Homo-oligomer: A and B are copies of this chain.
Amino acid sequence: MSRSGRLPALQWARGYDGGTLAADLLAAVIVTIMLIPQSLAYAMLAGLPPEAGLYASILPLVAYAAFGTSRVLAVGPVAVVSLMTASAVAPVAAQGLASPQAAAMTLALLSGAMLVGAGLFRLGFLANFLSHPVMSGFITASGLLIAAGQVKHILGIQAGGTTLAEIVPALLAQAGRVNGWTLAVGLGALAFLYAARRWARRGLTAAGLPGWLADMLARAAPILAIAVSILLARALDLGAKGVALVGSIPQGLPVPGLPALSIDLLAALAPAAALISVVGFVESVSVGQTLAARRRERIAPDQELVGLGAANIAAGLSGGFPVTGGFARSVVNEDAGARTPAAGIFTAIGIAGAALFLTPLLADLPQAVLAATIILAVLSLVDLRAVLRVLAYSRQDFAAMAATILVTLALGVEQGIGTGVALSLVMQLYRSARPHMAVVGQVPGTEHFRNVLRHEVVTWPEILSLRVDESLYFANSRFLEDRIAALVAEHPRLRHVVLMCPAVSDIDASALKSLEEINRRLAESGVRFHLSEVKGPVMDRLKRSDFLHHLSGQVFLSQHEAICRLRGAEAQGAAQKLS
């Protein structure tokens, strides 16, 4: 790979000019306005202090700009990964292995190292384990879990829990302690944000504003809600009335440094880091590919792993938590005109400015407003129509999806995604456990052989011709043993079995063992085993084993040749017996 392949920034940095700068700067301003409330909110969702969200939106963006391949992908904290972070950090912090911040930084470092490693060793294909119905079900369930988990902030009560089974009873138990002021602020923010999302752009355009300005103002609604609620909190002294506020946030930039690492901590966080890596990568690549396609560009998935890994390592070194590419903010970034990843660097500068200058203002921000931001953001993740579409399309895929959703809601995120992946694999194994095969006979007067069940063909009682229509490997080779055993038991006069392999492009060691067993068992029951129409590479490989030496029969170039020779030999044998 060329130098610019490993450091894609070298490509776009060369032709950088004033027009590109202006476009990137404008996009950065808009994304910064969108990212400040999200960073604070997702830090709260991850169970971390608000500054962690800001820190996760500074250096990671710079790292992605240097190593990522998408020109417009905007990385940072996102809802699902923040939930997974909360779920991973809570038990570790409860055990006293590390503070929540240190655990979250370690998680980001681990995930970053895994992603970079996967990129360097080209292991991106591992993300294929996560089938679409499982990923989609997981995101829907996460959205529901996140929204349910934020209800306590809107109601102003203390209620723990990381699964629906824990959250709902906890909320009900505390229902009598709802704080009216908090509820008012929370519902107000929800209503305002909902209205802004639904009608602001159209209303502002109708009022005569140009489209881009209407759009920008609509996107600024969350920051407006924050500003207004801070002013309200100060004016009405809401803190004294029991409304939970964000509290003081340290002013300044993160000081880069490693969290204290221990083997116990790394071991405890490794499974969660692996899952976060896979989920973050799948999400990010999907966003990146969609945006690249619009410009007939493409992203390089293995290099994306490196870019995303670098962003997570940067998050881990600078007081942040796991990040990935976000769909909404990337679309905003592109719509706003971002042309190169420099827009990400400018956004990072904007967030750094917020960390330096705005944090004192945020102390009086009601947490209920952040909760309202989260709830509105995640409800778009809940896609029940997708569940119905999958149900209509495939029952097996629906089973994997439903299991993922139910287990995620009932037992937690790691269990949910693990169940879904395991079930997908089991069902794929089930689907592929029976290789397509057919007993064939000769089409009269031709050299063609066809399925005996579908065509009028000729067969002979002493010869069984079985055509295999796919590669043989560990998942399906034992079925071939069973099938041949059954056919032999059904055909008492059988002397020859010919396995036709025109579509077999691979035979792994398990399948080779099965062929050896078939050959041995057939020989013990007095039947010879032959192959026909074996592809060249498969034949080369078989020659590297001693299978062909032990084969009781022969390998024929064509099925027609096999039948001619075997019938000829049988006729000769019969004639000798008679004479």
Name the contact of A481 in the complex, choosing from B131, B289, B489 (C-beta under 8 A): B289
Q: Is the CB of B428 within 8 A of A132?
A: no
A513 part of interface (Cβ distance < 8 Å) = yes
Rounded to whole angstroms, the CA-CA distance of A492 and B513 in the bound complex is 49
In angstroms, Cα B490 to Cα A297, docked, is 9
Known: A393-B544, A397-B508, A508-B394. A521 touches B488 (CB 8 A): no
A517 interface contact, C-beta 8 A = yes
Is A510 close to B, CB under 8 A?
yes
For the complex, give the distance between the alpha carbons of A129 and B522 in Å.
26
B509 engages A131 (CB within 8 Å): yes
Residue of B nearest to A396 (CB): B508
**This chain: copies in complex:** 2
Given contacts A128-B476, A397-B510, A428-B475, contact A389 B545 (CB under 8 A): yes
CB-defined interface of A285-299 with B at 8 Å, one 1/0 digit per residue? 010011011111110
Task: Tell me which residues across on chain B come within 8 A of A476, comparing CB atoms.
Answer: 128
Q: How far is the CA of A254 from the CA of B418 in the complex (A)?
A: 42
Residues of B contacting A290 in the complex (Cβ-Cβ under 8 angstroms): 517, 520-521
Is A495 in the interface zone, CB < 8 Å from B? no
Query: Which residues on the B side are within 8 Å of A426 (C-beta)?
Result: 126
Task: Answer whether residue A569 sits at the interface, using C-beta atoms and an 8 A cutoff.
Answer: no
Assembled-state Cα–Cα distance A525/B290 (Å): 10
Question: In the complex, what residue of chain B is closest to A389 when comparing beta carbons?
Answer: B545
Any chain B CB within 8 A of the CB of A181? Answer: no
A182 CA / B534 CA spacing, docked (Å):
58
With contacts A393-B541, A513-B132 known, is A293 near B522, CB below 8 A?
yes
**Residues of A in contact, count (CB < 8 Å):** 71
Residues 511-525 of A contacting B (Cβ, < 8 Å): 512-514, 517, 520-522, 524-525
Judged by a CB distance under 8 angstroms, whether A556 is at the interface is no
Please, how many angstroms separate the alpha-carbon atoms of A130 and B505 in the complex? 22
CB-nearest residue of chain B to A526: B296
A411 at the interface (CB under 8 A from B): no
Indicate if the CB atoms of B389 and A546 lie closer than 8 Å: yes
Q: With contacts A476-B128, A508-B397, A521-B290 known, is A392 near B433, CB below 8 A?
A: no
Q: Does A127 contact B (CB under 8 A)?
A: yes
Given A289-B481, A428-B475, A488:B296 Cβ within 8 A: yes
Q: Determine if A509 and B390 form an interchain contact, defined as CB atoms under 8 angstroms apart.
A: yes
Q: Return the contact of A292 from the options B429, B474, B485 (Cβ within 8 A).
A: B485
Closest 3 CB pairs of A and B: A293-B521, A131-B474, A397-B509
